[in-house]
Every structure is written in C-alpha cells, then in structure tokens.
Structure 1
Amino acid sequence: MRAADPKAAIAGLCLDPIDWAKNEENPSTAGGGAYTRGTKLIKICGITNPDDALVACQSGANLIGVIFVPKSKRCVTTEQGRAVVDTVRTFGERTARTSLKLPDSGSPISQMIGNARVLEQSSRRPLVVGVFQNQTPEFIREMVDSCGLDLVQLHGNEGMEATSSDICSVPAIRVVDIDTDPETGKASESAVETILNSITKDPLAILLDTSIKGEKVGGGTGVLFDHTIAEKIQNSGVPVIIAGGLSPDNAQDAVVATRPWGIDVCGGVEASPGIKDHSKVKKFVEGIRSAAIEADKGF
C-alpha cells in the first residue's frame, strides 16, 4: 500500500513464477516495489583530520569520507587517511576493518536491497569510505591496505563493474552523476530509466550527485539536483544516497520530501575547504535524524 505502484509491488513479490522471470529480465520492476524504510545513513565527507572525524562520529554519522583525488581541496595523504581511520576505529571500539557479509541475490535491484540492510547494520559503528576518481585499481587497493579503509566510493567514469570487490578489495559505492542544466536545474527526462538500466550487482550502493552540463567531471558542485529523480528510483525499489548542495538549511526538506535511504554532505558543513565547522556538523546530523522521524510518520 505504501508503494507508488501497488500493482508492480505485488508483482515484485514473485507470487507467480512468471513474475519472477519478468523481474529478472526487467531491473526496473525487481525488488518488490518502492523503497519505504526512510533515511538510515548519514555520510560526512571530505574529512581531513582526526578532530573533525571524532566530531562527525560523536554527532552520529554512519560513514566518514576521506578523499584521495589529487585535484580536490580536501585530498588527504596516506598518513592523514590512516589517522582518520584510527580515530574512527577507536571511537567504535574496534581494531580492524569491518567486513561486510553481502548477500548474493538474483537481480541487481534485489542485490541493492540486500546490501542496504547489511550496510545499515554494519555502520552502526562508523565506517571510513575512501573516495576515488578515475584512479587505478592498484592505487585504490594500496590506499585501502595502507589506511585500513572499510569501503571505497568511485566518483569518476570507471563504470559499474569497477566497483567489484575483486577490483577494489572492499565493497564500493558507485556515484551516478545527475547531469543538470545550470539555468533550469532540470535533468534529462530519461535520467531515471538510464540509471535503472545501468545498475549491475557489483556496487555496494548507489549515490546520486550533481554534475553540470558541459563540465567533464561531476561532483563537488555544491548544486542541488532534482530530487524527484531519487524518489522515482526508490519507487522502483533501489535505495539511494543523495549528495550535492546539501547543508543544515536544506537537507531536512530533502529528507521529508524524498525520504532517501542516505544523505551525504561535504562543503555544506565546512568552515573552509577541508576543515569542518563542528556546530554545522552537529546541526546537520541532528536535523536529518529529526526529519527522518517526521518523514516516517504514517509509514
């Protein structure tokens, strides 16, 4: 009853073998209907030092992002990355990388749903995500091993298959850029269909971020994309994380309106590039948690 298309949700339950076959052939209908569990994950990205990492953890963030992309103002060294990991591990009272035991489901969307539940449970103690963009698998694996990263996030044009654990050595989040017109704020009419048809079983999760038409590489724009795209993708069963232009002032509205599975913020909680404003971090996390409770009413 909560699904945008109850008929499709019933078919997704696979009560008839024919429905199962259709789900396997068409990823846009797999997974048993709309995602309805609400906002479960908060990621604070662009962390460069232990103090900011500790505040993010204390505030209630699930994922702590460290960026290894050279062009980024928030790029960290191996030593900085390791220091953040050590802080997060100490906070979570653990001494080793958290290993995610992911299911092996039939369709890509079913896989995303199973992965989401595992990540929710595993990130109750914060995890560290290393962010990379068009960098070699060898470099990614080196940073994973040297810093002790729990997860990675691929932010370039590497493709879905590049997120395989066999390539990255740990589960990987795949960033999907929403190509947005800077004047109208609109994305392509086929954006949702294109994304759903591109999903494979390789990524741990999907993160939607803004890219600006005409620019070569997306991400880090500080611009909101049309969040109805996220809502439509979740109505097809895929839990998504949203990023791009979020701050303590607007993220609560996004949660109430779209109920995304996850929220990712970077520049919106900074005092300066690479340095977090601790009061903004706390306000952001508190606001998301409060808005998630409000958005869940009636579900």
Structure 2
Amino acid sequence: MGALSVPSTWDVSRLRSASQLGSTFNCAPGQNVSLRVGIEQCAPWKRNCLGVRCSAGNDDYHPVVKMCGITRAEDAVVAAQAGAVYVGMIIWPKSKRSVSWSQAKEICAAAREYGAEPVGVFVDESSSEIERACDSVGLSFAQLHGEGSRASALQLPRSLKTICVMHADPQGSLQTTISAEMEKIIDWVLVDGLEGGSGLKFDWKNFCVPELALRKGWLLAGGLTPENVAEAVKLLRPNAVDVSSGIAGPDGIAKDHKRIFAFMDAVRSSACLSVQK
C-alpha cells in the first residue's frame, strides 16, 4: 500500500503536538490533565490503563477512548491525534459503516502511524472468517458483537485479543450472558445498548456493572456523545469509553473532526471531576 495521503489543509504538526506523550490540557479550573498515549501502557488486558491522568488528588482514574465505526483513513488520523487509543472498523458487511478489507488495511496503517491500535468489529462471522479477516488486514484485536461472533471466541487463536460485547436494554438491565469457559479467554468486556452503533443509550443510573466486567476491565458504549460522556464517566467510571454515532457527521458515517476533539475534551474534564468527587 502506498503512503497515506493526508489533505494539505490539515495542520498535522498541530494535531501531532496535541497528543504527544505527557502533553498537558486544561481541565477544571486550576487543574491540568496529562494525556499519555501508548499502546503498551493502554492494552486492555492490563488493568491500569494510562489514558487520562488528572493532577487533582491521589485517584489515578483515567478512562481511555475507543473511536469506532471509522470508515476513512483521515478520520483514523484525527482520532489518534486527538487522543483515541483504539480505532474501530466494522468488518461486518451489513453495517452502514462497514469497510472492505482493503479499506481496513489503509485505516490500520493510518491508526498505527499516528499512535492508535486498530480493532476489527465482527457480528455473526465464524471463527475462520474472523481469523482470515484479521490476518489479511493485520489486526491484533477483534471485537465480538453478535451471538455468532461471540460463539466463535473459543476457536480463535489466543494471540488475537478479544473484546466481548454484552448488551443492556433501555432500562439498563443486562441481556447477555457469557459462559464460564468464554470468561476465561476474553480480554475485555464492552457493554452496549441493544443495537450497537444506533446512537441510543441505556439507563446508566439503573445499570449495575457485571462482576465479569469489573474483573476483566470494561468499555462503556451506547449513545455516548461529547455532550453526555462526562455524566456517564462520573456515574459508572468505566475503564474506557467507546463512541461511534456520537462523533459522526451529517451523513452518520464519516466522522466530524470537531466532535472528535470535543469528545476527548469532555472525557479529560470528566476524569478530573470524578477525581474530585
């Protein structure tokens, strides 16, 4: 694949400096946030993810960010430069945000070049289909979103890191069960609404985080936006947050770069406010 083409209108050097290791950002009055982006530090199977660290108090709560439904390499670049640690691509062909394997390769290269780790999202594919896609695209992470893909988890190679999706109904009641055998091999849990990528959230106040998610580490998804992610983080304190529709542009597919940065700003601020509770 040729070199990534980035529109000349972008000030890439400004974006790069905004996410350099140890850069500081304004938070609540009198506070600073240090954004530390590093895949080795933020790997989901390591519980102490270094995503956002607040200088207030001794609580090092710092959720990391996954931006999902990426369909263009330029969106992956902006997401990574804004501070997203993970960039998700939907390989499942029935999604309006699905990408081909060749598109996924380009997005992977862009994400890694700018410091993020790509994640492939699967829904009803078999283990052999998931493995072929990951090998072809060059993915180390697979997010298993549907019954079909979750059932394939036990047959996937252990070298492939897995994020297992559980679903909550609008009232916040968990609707997905994970077998004891599967619990042993998954690396992280993601809790989403009933329809992933719909932009609909569930009742966070009524939701009880499952013990499996607390033990493995977990991502919160479902209807998150720059306007509400701070509330979600303060209520549930997930290890990570996952956003897709909430940063989409008018067509619901391509990402709105201003909303990407607004989402990251809201996560940083919410981490500081949570520390001060």
- Output the TM-score relative to the length of structure 1: 0.66
State the partner residue of 1:204. 187
Which is worse superposed, 199-208 or 128-137? 199-208
1:216-272 CA distance string (max 9 Å, x none): xx3222211122465543698333211111111111111112111110000110112
Aligned to 1:219: 196
Report the equivalent of 2:113.
90
Output the CA distance in 2 between the equivalents of 1:254 and 1:77: 33
The aligned residue for residue 257 of structure 2 is 278
CA distances 1:101-146 after superposition (whole Å, capped 9, x unpaired) = xxxxxxxxxxxxxxxxxxxxxxxxx210000001021221111111
List per-residue Cα deviations over 1:14-49 (Å, max 9, x = no partner): xxxxxxxxxxxxxxxxx9xxxx86342200001111
1:155 to 145, 148, 157: 145
Size of the alignment, in residue pairs? 217
The alpha carbon displacement at 1:287 in A equals: 0.9
Q: Unaligned 5+ residue runs, structure 1?
A: 1-30, 93-125, 212-217
Tell me, in whole angstroms, the C-alpha distance in 2 between the residues paired with 1:43 and 1:86: 17
**1:68-83, aligned counterparts within 5 Å?**
68-83=91-106
Give the secondary structure class of the aligned counterpart of 2:111: helix
Secondary structure at 1:158 match in 2: helix
The alignment yields a C-alpha RMSD, in angstroms, of: 2.7
- 1:236 and 1:136 mapped to 2: Cα distance? 24
2:118 aligned counterpart, secondary structure = strand
Equivalent-residue separation in structure 2 for 1:162 and 1:291 (angstroms): 36
Aligned amino acid, residue 85 of structure 1: C
1:186 matches 2:143:
no
Asked whether the 8 Å contact 2:120–2:141 carries over to 1, the reply is yes
Question: What does 1:4-15 correspond to in 2, within 5 Å?
Answer: none
One-letter amino acid of the structure 2 residue matched with residue 202 of structure 1: I
Q: Closer, same or farther in 2 for the Cα pair 1:70/1:237, shift >3 Å?
A: closer
Quick check: which has more Rg, 1 or 2? 1
Runs (4 or more) in structure 1 with deviation over 6 Å come to none
Cα distance in structure 2, aligned partners of 1:235 and 1:83 = 34
Amino acid at match of 2:228: N
Other-structure match for 1:297 = 276
Cα pair 1:137 1:167 within 8 Å, conserved? no
Instruction: Write 1 or 2 for the structure with the bigger share of helix.
Output: 1
Check whether the contact 2:183–2:212 (CA below 8 A) recurs between aligned residues: no
Note if contact 1:141-1:168 (Cα within 8 Å) is conserved in structure 2: no
Give unpaired runs (5+ residues) of structure 2. 1-46, 48-58
Offset at residue 285 of structure 1 (A) = 1.0
Q: Write the mapping of 1:260-275 to structure 2, written as runs, cut at 5 A.
A: 260-271=238-249, 272-275=251-254
Aligned to 1:42: 65
Q: Does 1:132 align with 2:127?
A: no
CA distance in 2, matches of 1:149, 1:197: 25
Amino acid corresponding to residue 225 of structure 1 in structure 2: F
Residues 173 and 53 of structure 1: CA distance in aligned 2, closer, same or farther (over 3 Å): same
135, 152, 162: which one pairs with 1:145? 135
Relative to structure 1, the CA distance from residue 230 to residue 195 in structure 2 (aligned partners, 3 Å threshold; closer, same or farther) is farther
- Percent identity between matched residues is 32
1:210–1:163 distance in 2 versus 1, CA, 3 Å: same
Rate the CA distance shift 1:230–1:296 in 2: closer, same or farther, 3 A. Answer: farther
Shift of 1:82: 0.3
Structure 2: distance between partners of 1:168 and 1:270: 33
CA 1:171/1:79 → structure 2, altered by over 3 Å: closer, same or farther? same
* One-letter amino acid of the counterpart of residue 269, structure 2: S
Contact between 2:127 and 2:155, CA under 8 Å: does it hold in 1? no
Distance apart, 1:296 and its partner CA: 2.0
The answer to whether the 8 A contact 2:68-2:242 is kept is: yes
Q: Which whole-Å deviations, capped at 9, do the CAs of 1:165-199 have from their partners, x for residues lacking one? A: 74475111000011x2xxxx4144xx39x758766
Q: Could you tell me whether the CA contact under 8 Å between 2:72 and 2:107 is conserved in 1?
A: yes
